[in-house]
Structure 1
């Protein structure tokens, strides 16, 4: 099993970096479900992607994409320092998303066969 870590930094809407990262992760899960494990660590403004019930005006829905990824078996973790800095640590998150630490990101990085950053 190949372990691929996505480290995401951009806000969910405005730029398409996070959207494209989620598309790639979903496609890897669909096309290589028996040989690939994807994990996503959200940092900086990307942590706001895990807030539920956002009303996107673009043509895509980040919450739906994160829910699909979680259903596919991906783990989604958020940087605690980043959530604290944005005042969202105590807000509800999309089911399956969890606040984590740099310690876990370090472990995931060492365990990963590939690390992709967006």
Structure 2
């Protein structure tokens, strides 16, 4: 079935778990899926599974909390495809569970930036 044939899907947090499953399903439905996450090797494994199932994907390893990474990704997507039809914002982190007075400010900022 090709419900999403010709569509471009961007899935963040696509290296494993829910993000990988969503990416694989979108590819199976005909979308070209752009996979982002921090771990290139894990993204390559998801990309390989998509290819083996007859789908298409592109990996874009990156840390979305790093300054400018989202802008660079947007520029690359615009240059290559000119659009995004489907956006799945799956990347997230929990951070260290601790009482508020002892939360590390840098970690707290990173969690808020990503989530």
Q: TM-score, normalised by structure 1?
A: 0.48
Bigger relative CO (Cα 8 Å, ≥ 6 apart): 1
Higher strand share: 1
Q: Name which one, 1 or 2, has greater alpha-carbon Rg.
A: 2
TM value normalised by structure 2 = 0.49
